[in-house]
Structure 1
């Protein structure tokens, strides 16, 4: 595997009981890029995203075949520490989900679980994470106030900061701006451009313009199949598959 290849997916199949939800997915994602997953509702893109940190393990009756290598290690190996995996591969959900505690404690929560107890170290981590998430200047004077008092866009950036505090390698984002207003959406999009300097980002989006604006590569899913993956400008201007063109031009979906 190339040193640049962060993630390599080989013949991945996923079943919910008898329902074959993902079919022979093959994909390679390089380090420090943004990969967008697009396709109509129910096409498998969010299911695929959750395979990358084994979130589907939490669902009864799920069976997976094939392999996913992250940094050359098969995350579905019996030797994989799932807690460690989810620290390395963090997830931002569709709706912001701050904990009902202070802004400071939201960020410090993960590091404390992983053994960081000294206040000076936590202070530094909280500040660094909030700065990385472009939120520090907005909240630095109210760190001890409830995170639930933040706006929706601020809450989503707080959730991103909470992930960054445990120092992951990969960020998974499942429609992270679908519940946000346009200004907050722009801030999160701008943030992803900064974060890809340090992280590999995979984002599920229903917003074609968003995929075109922020991603380096785009993958089109349909009925549990990966139809094609290519550089984003190629996907949106000259896709290889007619089904991709039909979707991005609004003929279905």
Structure 2
């Protein structure tokens, strides 16, 4: 499924903290007169940093709010849907970035009738936050989950998910939805939700075959329906598809 325009541009801003963005990318391009030659000279570097800051200040003036870093998806026109969501990406862990599967999962679930959703391995929370804030999803309850201790960097990912949920809580509440962050270890959950959700979802979460039995148990006992979007090149995909319980 091609995603050429993954989300209406007035609805979402992805950003990374300023120091990380400036060290790894030039989100607003180069100022006039500076050629694309790296490493930049000292003078060109100073001019480029000033240009980035100026563009960022213009963006904040346009939004009439602070943005804590440099956006990778920009807002070019005012929105009638209220303020956009802000989703922070971090350079530290793979779970703190937006991957293509998250976009695809959101596209699949647009206008879903599910009123309660549990997202497993939510990462930055993009899919769950978008689903919780859909204007057509009045009273929708979304739980975005991550483990905070099952792998190296898990705590960073979990704290970033908490940050993004808190940052957008007011906008989601204004849209009529709600979002909750849950510390969830698949190996300890034992599927104890008792079909508390209409739908359980996940994107690119099929990595480690030794976790699949716990994952399946959790999915089957959390909701009667599940939607997973998975990169078929991931090493665990074929193992999961071959499971007799799928």
* TM-score (ref. length: structure 2): 0.29
Larger radius of gyration: 2
* TM-score (ref. length: structure 1): 0.29
More strand by share: 1
